[in-house]
Structure formats: C-alpha cells, structure tokens
C-alpha cells in the first residue's frame, strides 16, 4: 500500500461517508409541511444553501424568518427529538458513499481519522456505533460546535500538523471550516450536480480515489 503524505483526515458525515442527505432533507421538510407549500418552499430553499450546519440553527432561523416567531429552547428540543426519531433509522440504513468504507478500513490504525459533522454529537456517535463504523475514528465529533471549532480542538488534542491534515466535505460549511483553520480541503461533488464550491476548489465524485489524492 502506498504511503500517504497526510497525518489526519477530518470527514463530514452525511453525503461524504454515508449517502444520507436525501433522508435528512425529507425529514426536515416534514417538520414544515403543515405550514403549507409557500412556507415549505422558502424553508427548503434556505436548507439547500445551508447544508452542513446544525439542524437546530436551521430550525430556529426558519421559525423566526418564515413563520414570524421565535422558539424557545424547550420547543427547539422537542423539534430536535421529532427530527431524530424520524431520521435515525434511515441514516443507519443508508448506503456507504462509494469508496468510503474501503478507505476507512484500509487506513484504520495507519492514519488519524475524525468526523466533523453538523449532526448533534451524541446522536452521531450512536449512529456510528449502530453502523459499526465508530472504531475507525479517533474521535467522532458533531454539533453544537462549528466545524472550525471542532478542527481546532482536534489539532490541539492530537498534536496535529495543519499542513498534514485534510478536510473532506460536501457543503460550504465544511469548506469554510477548512479555510478558517488553514487546512487543505477536498470537496465531494456528486456526478451530475453542480459544484457548490469556489472555482479551483479540489473536488472528487466519491471516495474511491481519495487515497491517491493523499499520496506523497
């Protein structure tokens, strides 16, 4: 196996390791369907522009901006529980992104690997455990911390060298987290979909060639 030039890879989860984006999109839409098609369209337009950030941030914003009311922490937590109950099994059952499981398996123990996801951290850890993939990672990280906050904590806790780390993500939140922390970024762009990233951003269609991108 070729030697990799990197020390650590920090993955987003949904849409990068697991093909679960459609599951989560449908569940988020279901929270706002009772308010009618006009509201739902506004909500999902906002959702499309803000993938990768916490669903709690999105839910609070949508209630305030599109429904005209601020929601308290108790109601937000109830929304969170509803979302989690509807989405959990679908995410657990979702297919792997091509090449993801093979990369994790091949480089487990040879490379530091982490997640930096917008999914609530304890929920993400439960999902990873139930998918039997938690053991691949040195740490599974999610919200409420931002991507940049997670990355900075990992660099400090694991004594990582920034120039030898890579963030792999599929949303602008991942891109911004990498740029804010001066880490190399590789974006996943599904074939047939337009890139969300600035021109010149390094991208790939899935993870089948990730190892080749990381060879010295």
Using the 3D structure, point to which of 44, 64, 93 is the last residue of a domain: 93
* pLDDT of residue 1 exceeding 90: no
* pLDDT of residue 172 exceeding 60: yes
* pLDDT of residue 216 exceeding 80: no
Cβ atoms < 10 Å from Cβ of 180: 14
Residue 145 lies in a domain: yes
CA 42 to chain centre: 22
Residue 144 in 3-state DSSP?
Answer: coil
R_g of the chain computed on alpha carbons: 17
Residue 3 lies in a domain: no
Q: What percent of the chain has pLDDT over 70?
A: 98
What's the mean pLDDT in 111-125? 95
d(CA 151, CA 180): 10
What's the mean pLDDT in 173-198? 95
Whether the CB-CB separation of 181 and 151 falls below 8 Å is answered with: yes
For the chain, what is the mean pLDDT? 94
Pairing of strands 8-11, 203-204: unpaired
Out of 37-41, 48-52, 96-100, 176-180, which region has the weakest mean confidence (pLDDT)? 48-52
DSSP class per residue in 52-113: TS-HHHHHHHHHHHHSS----HHHHHHHHHHHHHHHHHHHHHSPBPTTHHHHHHHHBTTBEE
Residues 50 and 115 in one domain: no
* pLDDT of residue 211 exceeding 60: yes
* pLDDT of residue 2 exceeding 70: no
* pLDDT of residue 179 exceeding 70: yes
**Residue 198: which domain range?**
8-19+94-213
**Confidence category of residue 74, pLDDT binned at 50, 70, 90:** very high
Domain count, the chain: 2
- Where residue 130 falls (left for φ over 0; alpha for ψ -120 to 50; beta otherwise) is alpha
pTM of the model: 0.88
């Amino acid at each position: 196996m070729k030697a990799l030039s990197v020390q650590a890879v920090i993955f987003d989860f949904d849409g990068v390791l697991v093909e679960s984006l459609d599951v989560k999109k449908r569940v988020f839409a279901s929270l706002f369907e009772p308010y009618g098609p006009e509201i739902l369209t506004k909500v999902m337009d906002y959702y499309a522009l803000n993938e990768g950030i916490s669903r709690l941030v999105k839910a609070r914003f949508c209630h305030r901006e599109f429904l005209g009311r601020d929601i308290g922490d108790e109601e937000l937590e109830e929304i969170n529980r509803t979302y989690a109950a509807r989405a959990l099994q679908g995410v657990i059952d979702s297919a792997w992104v091509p090449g993801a499981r093979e990369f994790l398996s091949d480089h487990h123990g040879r490379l530091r690997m982490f997640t930096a996801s917008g999914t609530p951290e304890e929920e993400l850890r439960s999902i990873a455990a139930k998918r039997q993939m938690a053991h691949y990672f040195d740490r599974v990280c999610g919200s409420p911390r931002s991507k940049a906050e997670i990355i900075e904590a990992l660099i400090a806790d694991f004594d990582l060298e920034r120039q030898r780390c890579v963030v792999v993500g599929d949303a602008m939140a991942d891109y911004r987290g990498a740029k804010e922390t001066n880490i190399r970024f590789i974006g996943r762009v599904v074939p047939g979909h337009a890139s969300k990233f600035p021109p010149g951003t390094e991208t790939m269609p899935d993870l089948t060639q990730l190892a080749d991108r990381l060879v010295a």
